[in-house]
């Protein structure tokens, strides 16, 4: 299986982001397409304008939780806002996540947490 990823600017150039490693991350084309040059959106729970989760500065496990049905739940305003704008729980994406899990390809290994058996 081949996957193509985008190199994404966490803070887009449009907003002063630079081409340094600490401002770049790998993103799937869907997530990168939904994010565009946005840096924040409204938390669907509170309605407050909220910055996105920053993978270079924040721990995934503090902001997100993977449910048994392969949906991702936001534990914080940043997590909820990110899931909402990136459309991370669209049915097609949840099915793809489940299929990758069945192949033992999801979630990717997180060096800060235990891998599944």
Task: Specify if 80 maps to a domain.
Answer: yes
pLDDT digit string, tens, across residues 25-37: 999 899 999 999 9
Task: Specify if 78 maps to a domain.
Answer: yes
Task: Specify if 10 maps to a domain.
Answer: no
Task: Specify if 46 maps to a domain.
Answer: yes
The pLDDT score that the predictor gives to residue 116 is: 39
Are 41 and 47 spatial neighbours (Cβ–Cβ below 8 Å)? no
pLDDT digit string, tens, across residues 51-92: 999 999 999 999 999 999 999 999 999 999 999 999 999 999
The pLDDT score that the predictor gives to residue 34 is: 95
What tokens appear for 32 in the block?
Answer: 């990168």
Task: Specify if 1 maps to a domain.
Answer: no
The pLDDT score that the predictor gives to residue 64 is: 98
The pLDDT score that the predictor gives to residue 57 is: 93
As a whole number of Å, the CA-based R_g of the chain is: 14
The domain tally of the chain equals: 1
The structure tokens 């040059």 sit at 37
Task: Specify if 116 maps to a domain.
Answer: no
Residues 6+ away with beta carbon under 8 Å from 25: 7, 8, 10, 55, 56
pLDDT digit string, tens, across residues 91-117: 999 999 999 999 998 887 655 444 433
pLDDT band at 13, cuts 50/70/90? very high
Task: Specify if 11 maps to a domain.
Answer: no
Domain containing 82 equals 33-102
Task: Specify if 66 maps to a domain.
Answer: yes
């Amino acid at each position: 299986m081949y996957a193509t990823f985008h190199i994404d600017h966490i803070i887009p150039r449009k907003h002063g982001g630079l081409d340094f490693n600490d401002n770049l991350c790998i993103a799937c084309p869907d997530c990168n397409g939904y994010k565009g040059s946005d840096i924040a959106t409204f938390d669907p729970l509170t309605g407050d304008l909220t910055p996105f989760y920053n993978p270079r500065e924040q721990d995934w496990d503090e902001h997100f939780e993977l449910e048994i049905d392969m949906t991702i739940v936001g534990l914080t305003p940043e997590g909820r806002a990110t899931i909402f704008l990136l459309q991370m729980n669209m049915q097609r994406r949840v099915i793809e996540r489940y299929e990758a899990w069945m192949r033992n390809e999801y979630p990717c290994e997180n060096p800060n947490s235990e891998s599944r058996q």
